[in-house]
Chains A and B, each alone.
Chain A
Amino acid sequence: MTFNFPRYILRETGHSMKRNPWLSIASVLTVMVSLIILGFSIFFLANATNVAQSFESQLEIAAFVKDDATADQVQTLQSRIQGMTGVSSVTIVTKEQALANFGKTMGGSQSNLVTDLGGTNPFPDKLTIKATNPQDVENLASAIQALPEIDIVRYGQGYVDKLLQFTKWLRWIGFGVVGAFTVASVVLISINVKMNVFSKRREIQIMKLVGASNGFIRWPFLIEGLTLGLLGGGLAALTVGMGYNWITMYVQSTLTFLPVVRNIVLFRQVLGGLLLAGMAMGAVGSGVSLQKFLHS
């Protein structure tokens, strides 16, 4: 039987973690806490973006067609507006549909309604236009207003600007939070890894004096860093996963108007990302800090 290096590495890693239990627990906790905060901040960003999007998607332009326009002219108008740059969709709401909708909200029947309203349908034909980019709503509205067949354009003048300001800030805050917590967790974890390796510098020195090559010293440390990082990342993924699931269920049942992101793909990506991040930071961090002691 020859010397089994992988087995040696595993044994060393196990011993080292078992014999420094507090150091190991501290490392796992550091990684876990940092990544939990990071994980929640990513979901915060996802939700902020989602809320912004759902607000913006409600922005639309209502263009009322002049009363004397024929059905054909309305059709042509639709395709003309559709052809304008920045328009994502144009739907026609004919005066009959408008009346029907009105009737539905009133709860009465349509035939009575016309007579009740004096024998004429007071609703004009309407085009509902959605912009690809919400920033364009204002420009599009004035361009549509300029069309001769159009009577009046409504798009929430005045509050569109404010809404767009709000969604812009919401997005920036989301990104800011993720950015800040990414930096914070990298700093926290790397400080922890450095302390971890620093506490072993004497051991490393002795190993070198006894004739251990750098690789022989490095591997058990790397695997230890990787394992501790993986544990921390795994616990963080578990906490974030269960916590987020619980929070969104609660929000959905109590604050029903708030749109929450429950996207299984995103869910898996974030949790997998946390696991990988813990592992990578543990291993790479140990490797980098170790390098300094190995070559001193």
Chain B
Amino acid sequence: MIQLRNVSKIYPNGARALVDVNLKIDKGEFVFLVGPSGAGKSTLIKLFYRDETPTRGQVQINGKNLVRMKEREVPYLRRSIGVIFQDFKLLPNKTVQENVAFALEVIGVSRKEVRTRTSNMLELVGLAGKENAFPTELSGGEQQRVCVARAIINNPALLVADEPTGNLDPETAWGIMDLLFNINKRGTTVVMATHARAIVNKMQKRVIAIENGRVARDEEMGGYGYDV
């Protein structure tokens, strides 16, 4: 599903975000990415949906080489990947319903189907009744759930989440985790960067720790680590 070979990323300002990373994540896995802030988790995640390209090394997603990928193929890659962004990236001039619907519209789903699927999805993430609100009228947690809804609505092969529970109270956070877990059970590969120790420790999934741009630890059924 995901394969990184000798990947390094150096930003134009000279910051070495990733150094010689080798990584393999199989289809259907559920992986936590942990590590201190600024360790390179977000950069690593951005490589998956080609928001960034590596300075050196190769990135393969679903058998496709992202380094050699042409500009016009990128939209198709992104449609097979759901992304829960750290800053939500909601369209400010669209309502909640329209934001979620957008992910279906780009792949050409009919209007009728868009309507039923989005209302089901909003129900699922607990946003029923907020369909016509604009993002600015929502709380942080609600915006995050809109983002989650948009990311998972077209059953992506890969779901990438950058701190999807960061702004949520524990109860809602667990609700989101249930969603991700269920999606994973239906075959979607999930990679989630997080600082939520309790969640990582409880779920007992594969944990990859990133420190200073390198893979510091990679264990099946791991814990959060970094215990005080």
Residues of A within 8 A of B (CB): 1-5, 7-8, 15-16, 19-20, 202-203, 205-214, 216, 295
Contacts and interface: CB of A to CB of B under 8 A. Distances in A.
B60 to A, nearest CB: 19
Nearest to A5: B108
Contacts of B91: 203, 206-207
A211 B93 contact: no
A209 B49 contact: yes
B109 A207 contact: no
Given A206-B89, A206-B90, A207-B91, A3 B108 contact: yes
A210 B103 contact: yes
Given A1-B112, A3-B109, A208 B93 contact: no
Contacts of B90: 206
Contact of B102 (A3, A4, A210, A213): A210
Contact of A1 (B81, B94, B103, B110): B110
B108 A2 contact: yes
Contacts of B108: 2-3, 5
Nearest to B114: A3
Nearest to B78: A211
B226 interface: no
Nearest to B156: A211
B111 A3 contact: yes
Given A1-B112, A211-B75, 16 more contacts: A1-B110, A4-B110, A15-B93, A15-B98, A16-B93, A206-B89, A206-B90, A207-B106, A209-B83, A210-B103, A210-B106, A211-B81, A211-B103, A211-B106, A212-B106, A295-B71
B75 A208 contact: yes
17 contacts: A1-B112, A4-B111, A202-B92, A203-B93, A206-B89, A207-B102, A207-B106, A209-B85, A209-B89, A210-B78, A210-B83, A210-B102, A211-B75, A211-B77, A211-B81, A211-B107, A212-B102
Given A208-B75, A209-B49, A8 B105 contact: yes
Contacts of B98: 15
A198 to B, nearest CB: 15
Contacts of B150: 210
Which applies to chain A's interface (DSSP): helix, strand, loop or mixed? helix
B72 interface: yes
Contacts of A206: 89-91
Nearest to B94: A15
A213 B89 contact: no
Contacts of B206: none
A249 to B, nearest CB: 46
Given A8-B105, A16-B93, A203-B91, A212 B75 contact: yes
Nearest to B106: A212
A269 to B, nearest CB: 39
A228 to B, nearest CB: 16
A214 B72 CA distance: 8
Contact of B72 (A8, A202, A212, A213): A213
Contacts of B111: 1, 3-4, 7
Contact of B110 (A3, A212, A216): A3
Contacts of B75: 208, 211-214, 216
Contacts of B145: none
Contact of B106 (A1, A7, A216, A295): A216
Interface in B80-123: 81, 83, 85, 89-94, 98, 102-103, 105-112
B76 A211 contact: yes
A202 B85 CA distance: 14
